[in-house]
Amino acid sequence: MHEYAHDERASLRAGGRGYALEAVEALGIDAARVFKTIVVACDGRLGLVVVPADAEVDLKAAADALGGRKAAIADPAEAERATGYVLGGISPLGTRRPLPVVLDASAADFPTIHVSAGRRGLEIELAAGDLLAVTKGRLAPVARRG
């Protein structure tokens, strides 16, 4: 577990992508190793797509990985209800209800990665394989960089 002092203004930085990038900055970790969890709606079902802090979700690739035709970023209120977490603290672990998890393939490049531990300002470090085992997730290329 890695804890840092969360800055409430973080969501305003970096074009609204500030929560994961705040963890990168606060913990001094390569942005490629810090992953953010994005809730997506795919053909009427929700799923979790976990991508590096400095990347965006490739929605077409996410839909393919989730076995659907079309994916979109879920409504924030719906994401919070489904996971039990607030935006900026959504973790792929321990969600209110089980959701399919897709972890970007780049996670396999590192011995460990960081994901939210369920609240803003708290990260958990673990091996990508362990995250996939616990969540019954799958690895797929679902990130898109700038």
Instruction: Look at the pTM and tell me if it is higher than 0.75.
Output: yes
Structure confidence by residue, pLDDT tens digits, 95-113:
999 999 999 999 999 999 9
Q: What is the number of domains present in the chain?
A: 1
Helices and strands in the chain, H and E counts: 4, 10
Q: How many CB atoms lie within 10 A of CB 70?
A: 12
* DSSP codes, 63-104: HHHTT-S-EEEPPHHHHHHHHSS-TT---SSS-SS---EEEE
Q: Determine, yes or no, domain membership for 117.
A: yes
CATH (domain of 123): 3.90.960.10
Q: Determine, yes or no, domain membership for 106.
A: yes
Q: Determine, yes or no, domain membership for 139.
A: yes
Q: Are 143 and 106 within 8 A, CB to CB?
A: yes
Query: Domain range holding 31?
Result: 2-38+48-58+77-144
Q: Determine, yes or no, domain membership for 64.
A: no
Q: Are 58 and 144 within 8 A, CB to CB?
A: yes
Q: Determine, yes or no, domain membership for 70.
A: no
Structure confidence by residue, pLDDT tens digits, 45-75:
999 999 999 999 999 999 999 999 999 999 9
